[in-house]
Amino acid sequence: MNECGGFCPQCGTPANGNKTADGTTTALLVFLSVLFPMAGLKMYFAWRDKDPVLVKKCLKAAIITWAVQAALAVLFAFVLPVLIVLLGAAAPEAQTTLTVFGPMMAA
C-alpha cells in the first residue's frame, strides 16, 4: 500500500484508518461538480492524494457535464438553425400568414 500513497489500490480506503468523506459530503461535492465543472477539476487536483475515490467521482461528474454542455452547444448552434431553415422552406404558407397582420397594424 505504500507505493499507492497510503491508499488501497482496489477500493481507495486510507491505510492509516482515517475516515473518508461520508455519503452526504460526496453527494454535495459531486453536485457542485455538476453545477460548476471547473470546481470538480480543481477538487481533483487539490485532493487527489487525500481522498482519491471522492475526487474521481467529482472528476467524472465534471467531464460528463462538459460533454453534455458541448453536445447541447453543437445542437443549438448548428443543428437547430439548419432545421429551422429547412422547415421554413418546406412550409411557405406559414410565411404568408404573417403578412396578413401587416396591413391591419398600419391602419
- DSSP calls for 73-106: HHIIIIIHHHHHHHHHHH-THHHHHHHHHHHHHH
Query: Per-residue pLDDT tens for 8-29?
Result: 767 766 665 555 567 788 889 9
CA dihedral over 20, 25, 26, 30, signed as positive or negative? negative
Query: Per-residue pLDDT tens for 68-91?
Result: 999 999 998 988 888 888 877 666
Q: How many domains does the chain have?
A: 1
Q: Which domain holds residue 61?
A: 2-106
Q: Give me 60's grid cell.
A: 467524472
CB 55 within 8 A of CB 43: yes
Share of the chain above pLDDT 70, in %: 63
